[in-house]
Amino acid sequence: MNPYFPIAVVIPTFNRKECLADLLHQLFGQQPGDFTLEIVVVVDGSSDGTREMLETDFPGVQVVQGPGNWWFTRSVNEGIRSIRSRRTSTYVLILNDDSVVEPDYLRQLTRAQAEAGPEAIVGSLSVTEESPRRITFGGTKRTLRWLMKTIDYVTPFEPYVPGRLTGLHPTQSLNGRGTLVPVAVFDRIGLLDERRFPQYGSDDDLALTALRAGIPVYISWDAVVFDRVRLTAAGTPYLHPSLSVFLNSFFNRYSVNSIRKTVFFYRKHGLPLVWPLGVALSVAATWRAWFWKYRHIRIE
């Protein structure tokens, strides 16, 4: 008998009504499989009519209202708290509001979960929605802990060819877009670290924290989440931000380049005494990415 997967999808959102509506239609249009689905949207202070759209067009979606200062990580946590209080689902699937999924996505993801085992965390392959489609995250073979440098399976922004990558693979990092987590994992290791990583970094922190607790972490190359990368953080190097925007991103605690976030991450997971070197090299690598690494990449 195949295992059954009661899944609660948690989607934090802020002023992306149209993107969110697209994603909800895609989730409700999934191919049948061995799963049930409930959807929790965490509306953190949106002012674009998101709440009204949900009430009118998606009355079956559960809404958690935030004050506008929860950011990504606490929004996810509040969604999980809502799910845990009801105990109606066994798994939590974290998705961004700008994600795009194809009709077989949940069928592929639950197949991977069945292979990984009931205690495992399973992430998804991340691909740009923009053309030409490129892989932005394909999992991590290993981490050089003394530098906290990841050795990836796939070179970032490698062209995406459907069907070329397949299977389930262990990973030491995660992308929050399309991460399936058993509720029991949160019972065991706690929720995402919203204090240290309010916007970015909580996904990788979850992976390493889970691995340390003996919980397997995998990525499925068959479960694909497409993302509108033009909507990501302004300081991201591959978006070619101006020098002032890029520089300021290091001092914004909610930025992907936040030095504060990087220090917290390396202190928490790096080797004692060596982690400051890792932070310095990480910042240098981010500057190198802005100057040179992505100079030929254009997101259209």
* Per-state percent for the chain, helix, strand, coil, to nearest 5: 35, 25, 40
Cβ-count burial of 80 within 10 angstroms (0-12 exposed, 13-18 middle, 19+ buried)?
A: buried
Rounded CA-CA distance 73/134 in Å is 26
Alpha helices (runs of H) in the chain, residue ranges in sequence order: 17-28, 50-57, 71-86, 105-116, 183-189, 202-212, 243-249, 259-269, 275-288
Residue pair 187/213 in contact (Cβ under 8 Å)? The answer is no
Domain around 260: 237-293
CA within 13 Å, CB half, 133 = 12
149: nearest Cα among 260, 239, 292, 284? 284
Give yes or no: residues 81 and 147 share one domain: yes
298 assigned to some structural domain: no
Give yes or no: residues 103 and 135 share one domain: yes
Give yes or no: residues 167 and 31 share one domain: yes
Rounded CA-CA distance 255/241 in Å is 13
Phi then psi for residue 119, to 5 deg, are: -100, -5
Q: Look at residues 231, 251, 278 and tell me which one is the last residue of a structural domain.
A: 231
Global confidence as pTM: 0.94
User: In total, how many domains does the chain have?
Assistant: 2
| Residue in the structure block whose two tokens are 């700008």 | 98
Give yes or no: residues 91 and 194 share one domain: yes
Rounded CA-CA distance 209/5 in Å is 24
Give yes or no: residues 207 and 285 share one domain: no
Give yes or no: residues 260 and 122 share one domain: no
- Angle at 34 (CA atoms; ends 33, 38), nearest 5 degrees: 85
280 assigned to some structural domain: yes
Per-residue pLDDT tens digits of the chain, which is 300 residues long: 568 999 999 999 999 999 999 999 999 999 999 999 999 999 999 999 999 999 999 999 999 999 999 999 999 999 999 999 888 899 999 999 999 999 999 999 999 999 999 999 999 999 999 989 999 999 999 888 777 888 999 998 999 999 999 999 999 999 989 999 999 999 999 999 999 999 999 999 999 999 999 999 999 999 999 999 888 877 899 888 999 999 999 999 999 999 999 999 999 999 988 899 999 999 999 999 999 888 778 776
DSSP secondary structure of 76-145: HHHHHHHHHHHT--SEEEE--TTEE--TTHHHHHHHHHHHH-TT-EEEEEEEESSSSPEEEE--EEEEET
Give yes or no: residues 187 and 78 share one domain: yes
Residue pair 268/192 in contact (Cβ under 8 Å)? The answer is no
Give yes or no: residues 96 and 122 share one domain: yes
What is the amino acid identity at position 157? Answer: F
Q: What is the pLDDT of residue 117?
A: 95
Give yes or no: residues 51 and 165 share one domain: yes
Rounded CA-CA distance 250/235 in Å is 8
27 assigned to some structural domain: yes
Looking up residue 12, the CATH number of its domain turns out to be 3.90.550.60
Give yes or no: residues 78 and 177 share one domain: yes
Q: Look at residues 204, 231, 258 and tell me which one is the last residue of a structural domain.
A: 231
Residue pair 11/23 in contact (Cβ under 8 Å)? The answer is yes
Residue pair 119/189 in contact (Cβ under 8 Å)? The answer is no
Give yes or no: residues 253 and 140 share one domain: no
